[in-house]
Amino acid sequence: MNSPRVVCFGELLLRLGAPGHQLLLQSPFLEVHCGGAEANVGVSLAHFGHDVAMVSVVADNPLGAAVTGELRRHGVDTGRVRRAEGRMGLYFLTTGAGHRPSEVVYDRADSAFASARADSYDWPALLQGAQWLHLSGVSPALGPEAAQATLDAARAACALGIKVSFDGNFRPKLWERWGGDAKAILRDLFDCAHIVFADYRDIGVVLGGEFAQADAQARVDAAAAMAFAAFPRLQYMACTQRTAHSVGHHSIGAMLLGRDGTRTVAPVEELTDIIDRIGGGDAFAAGVLHGLIEGLDADTTLRFGLAAGCLKHSIPGDFNPVGVADVMALMGEGKFDVRR
C-alpha cells in the first residue's frame, strides 16, 4: 500500500435514479451513480491532484466491485476497501423540477459497511503516512459498530498527529433507527477535528445551544465561538448558506471561521439551471480542504470551495470530477460561452 496524503472513511453507496425529471419507475429504467459523503470528498480531492485512499467495506458481489472500480476510475486508491458478506447501501433518487422537490428514498439499512465490526479495522495501518483523515456524521449514525469505528478512526488520527476534517451531516432519522446517542458521539468526533463543516444547527445538536439571532451569519458566528471554546483542537469551521427559490434555482454563499478570529465570507452565487444538487456540500468541503492542504489564504480557500460547490450543481452524479483549472477558471473571469 502506498502512503496517501488523505484518507477518507465512510460508506460507499449506489444511487439509483429515475432518468431525467421522471418520477421513480415512471419508465422502467434507473441511472446509476456512486456516492457516499466521504467518497465524494475523496474523489474531488483526487481530481484536485491529491493522493487519496478510501477506507470502507463493500458487499462481496458485483455491486461492491462496481463501486470500488468507480472510485479507482476517479483516481482514489481502493486498496483499503474491504469486501465482506452482505449488501450494498442503496438510495433511490427522483430528481425534482420547478415546484417539485427532489426526493431520496434510502435503502441502506444492514449494509456490509454498517454491519462491519469496529474491531475489524486496523487504524494505525490504515492511516499510515496520512496527513489528513476525512470523516462525516453519516458514518456514526449507521449503527453502533460504525459509530465505534468512526470514533476509533478519529482518535487514532489524533494520536498520530493526523488532521481530522469532519463534516457534521446530522441525520436524525438514521440515529433514531438504532437509538444512538448522537450528541455524545458527535461531541467526541468534533473534539478530534481540525476543521468541521457545520453550521449553527449542527453545533446546537452537539453543544446544546439555541441560536436565535435574526441574521443567519450572526447565528453562525455565535455557533463558531461556542465551538472553538468547547473544542480546543478545532482550528476552522466552514459552512455554506443556501436559499432554494425553486428546485432549479438556489442562492449559495459560504463562511470560513478560524480559531484565530479570522472570519471570511464568500459572496453569494446564483445557481440557475441546477442539474444535480446532490454532493454539493461535499464538493464545497473538498474545495476548502484543498485550500487548507495547499496552504492557500482563507479568502482563496473559501472562494475555491464555493466555486467547486457551484460547479458540482452542473454535473450529474454525486461526484464532482473537476480539476483545479476548472475551479480557477470559474473563480477568474468566469466566462460562460463555449470554450473551444
The least CB distance from residue 49 to a copy of itself, in Å, is: 13
**Stretch binding a copy of itself (CB under 8 A), from 15-23, 155-163, 231-239, 259-267:** 15-23
Among 101, 181, 183, 218, binds a copy of itself (CB under 8 A): 101
Q: Cell for 303?
A: 472562494
Among 3, 49, 85, 105, binds a copy of itself (CB under 8 A): 105
Task: Considering only residues 147 through 186, tell me which ones interact with a copy of itself, judged by CB under 8 A.
Answer: 171, 173
- Distance (Å, whole) CA 294 – CA 331: 17
71's CB contacts (< 8 A; 6+ apart) are 12, 34, 39, 42, 43, 54, 78, 81
The CA–CA distances, whole Å, from 40 to 43, 47, 178, 202, 296 equal 5, 11, 25, 20, 22
In contact, 216 and 252? CB cutoff 8 Å: no
**Nearest one of 323, 278, 331 to 306, comparing CA atoms:** 331
- Distance (Å, whole) CA 46 – CA 25: 34
Burial class (CB within 10 angstroms; exposed 0-12, middle 13-18, buried 19+) of 85: exposed
The least CB distance from residue 28 to a copy of itself, in Å, is: 4
Task: Considering only residues 216 through 235, tell me which ones interact with a copy of itself, judged by CB under 8 A.
Answer: none
178's CB contacts (< 8 A; 6+ apart) are 143, 144
> Contact between 144 and a copy of itself (CB under 8 A)?
no
**Stretch binding a copy of itself (CB under 8 A), from 16-24, 123-131, 176-184, 254-262:** 16-24
In contact, 192 and 230? CB cutoff 8 Å: no
Torsion over CA: 88, 96, 245, 311 (sign)? positive
| Residues present in the chain in total | 340
User: Please, which residue, 56 or 221, has the CB nearer to a copy of itself?
Assistant: 56
User: Please, which residue, 72 or 263, has the CB nearer to a copy of itself?
Assistant: 72
> Contact between 43 and a copy of itself (CB under 8 A)?
no
> Contact between 49 and a copy of itself (CB under 8 A)?
no
Among 16, 216, 265, 324, binds a copy of itself (CB under 8 A): 16
Q: What is the DSSP letter of 3?
A: -
Task: Considering only residues 295 through 314, tell me which ones interact with a copy of itself, judged by CB under 8 A.
Answer: 307, 310-311, 313-314
> Contact between 29 and a copy of itself (CB under 8 A)?
yes
> Contact between 117 and a copy of itself (CB under 8 A)?
no
User: Please, which residue, 109 or 158, has the CB nearer to a copy of itself?
Assistant: 109
- Distance (Å, whole) CA 215 – CA 265: 14
The least CB distance from residue 318 to a copy of itself, in Å, is: 12
The least CB distance from residue 275 to a copy of itself, in Å, is: 5
**Stretch binding a copy of itself (CB under 8 A), from 98-106, 175-183, 226-234, 284-292:** 98-106
The least CB distance from residue 287 to a copy of itself, in Å, is: 13
User: Please, which residue, 26 or 262, has the CB nearer to a copy of itself?
Assistant: 26
> Contact between 109 and a copy of itself (CB under 8 A)?
yes
> Contact between 69 and a copy of itself (CB under 8 A)?
yes
Backbone phi, then psi, for 134, in 5-degree steps? -105, 130
**Nearest one of 288, 290, 8, 301 to 138, comparing CA atoms:** 8
Task: Considering only residues 232 through 291, tell me which ones interact with a copy of itself, judged by CB under 8 A.
Answer: 242, 244-250, 269-275, 277-278
> Contact between 100 and a copy of itself (CB under 8 A)?
yes
